[in-house]
Amino acid sequence: RNAKGQRRDRYIHNTNTLMVGASSFAISSISYQPTAEELLQAVREIKLDHAEFGVKRICATLKDKGWTVSENRVKKTMQEHGLLETAAPVPMAVEASSAPDATKDQEQPAKKATLVKEQTWPEPTVPPMDLFPKGDFPKGQICEYIGMNAYRSSSAEMRESDRQMSSILNEHREAAEVHRTARKYLRTIAQPGELMIDIVEKLEDKVRELVRAHFPERGIAFPTGCSINHVAAHWTPNAGDKTVLKRDDVVKFDIGIHVNGRIIDSAFTHYFNPRYDPLALAVREATNAGIREAGIDVRLGDIGAAIQEVMESYEVELDGKVYPVKSIRNLNGHSIGQFQIHHGKSVPIVKTSEQTKMEEGELFAIETFGSTGKGVVHEDLECSHYMKNFDAGHVPLRMAKAKELLGVIDKNFGTLAFCRRYLDRLGCKQSLLGLKNLCDVGLVQPYPPLCDVKGCYTAQFEHTLLLRPTCKEVLSR
């Protein structure tokens, strides 16, 4: 604490913080030798923000921040994980004087060199399936198990179990690659003065293009969340909404993408005023703490305790007043199933007595929410998010509009979440009455915006984590 009795964050004291993409690394002012895992994560995040950077530029960026790395090490890391895109060598021309049948060779049309495709920026136009035509999509961040589960990384039995997941894992990785591209693109178009509806519709159109959306094989997993300031979650603009992104706003962008129902759910906090840095850092580091704690046979309550300890060590000064950052206690992370965004297990972000354990093969969204307000949210504002109940059985419907609307939902979304804009896009211009009827009979569940007290600010950070038999993989990172 300082002379005024205010807390000072022990996590970032006397350090330089490198913010790269969706991650942060606390680096001391002295030279630092990163581990292989840290180097891979840093390279991935630099490539996410600067796709044009090569080995030398990446190496220089890391050295500027005090890391001791050689170009050879960076190059080897990029090659091993498919991050170094190179062109195939151009065939050498055969000179007439050295070829026995030079005239015949010259008459043959020259073969064109096959170039490896690269993503275009600032607007991505190449679907990841074209960047990786063999289907070998990049791995996420690999985290080895420790403690009682350390044996898993070298167990032959576990490695065989891992191989049996390869096809499912690759679907996750394809969705994750689209997600990383979408996040980078979103940062370029989400600028002050733009209508929120224009930003999200431009993003969603780009996602449909990159993933080559076609239900049920691939597409958007849920509406793009873009909750602002005291609104923590589940807000996206309805048709006609005139909300404008302002320079002092704090926006939580929550994006969901799926391939064959394998959902990648990741979110970040977007803002322009540096005074919100401590708030954004709190949720980022709290999520990182949750990822570190997560693992097979780990109790969910213990993860919540680790998240809360990190989150509530931060505070933010706004207009001369210091606010402690609070974990929003009635929001949670969650397990994810195929075509099911909330699969049953909840990951608390505060300390609880929950004894339920994580299990091998499960997929989790580790997400945290911080607030300068009460740290509790309630339903408020106009509803935009809806989702068909996963276990809903047959319910007789008397209203013709409700029957027609249910058919549209089944054909285009199934049990994935949707919003009113999506129905408008499909030609269902007057769907509110039918939608209300489907909600009343329990076939569809509304998800209104979740808000803390007005005037406060909330932040969110989220990654999708798979508990593989041999390791845990942060797919979205």
**Which residues does the annotation mark as catalytic?**
254, 265, 334, 342, 367, 462
Query: For residue 23, what are the CA distances in angstroms to 98, 171, 211, 283, 461?
Result: 56, 23, 24, 11, 10
Helix (H, G, I), strand (E, B) or coil at 161: helix
Joined tokens for residue 284? 């980022």
Residues 46 and 384: their CA atoms lie apart, in Å, by: 35
Distances (CA, A) of 197 to 48, 204, 365, 412: 25, 11, 26, 21
Beta strand pairing status for 262-271 and 326-327? unpaired
How many Å separate Cα 290 from the centre of its chain? Answer: 15
- CB contact at 8 A, 258 and 268: no
Q: Which contiguous run of DSSP H or E holds residue 206?
A: helix 196-211
179's enclosing H/E stretch is: helix 166-189
User: CB within 8 A of 444, min separation 6: which ones?
Assistant: 386, 387, 388, 389, 409, 435, 438
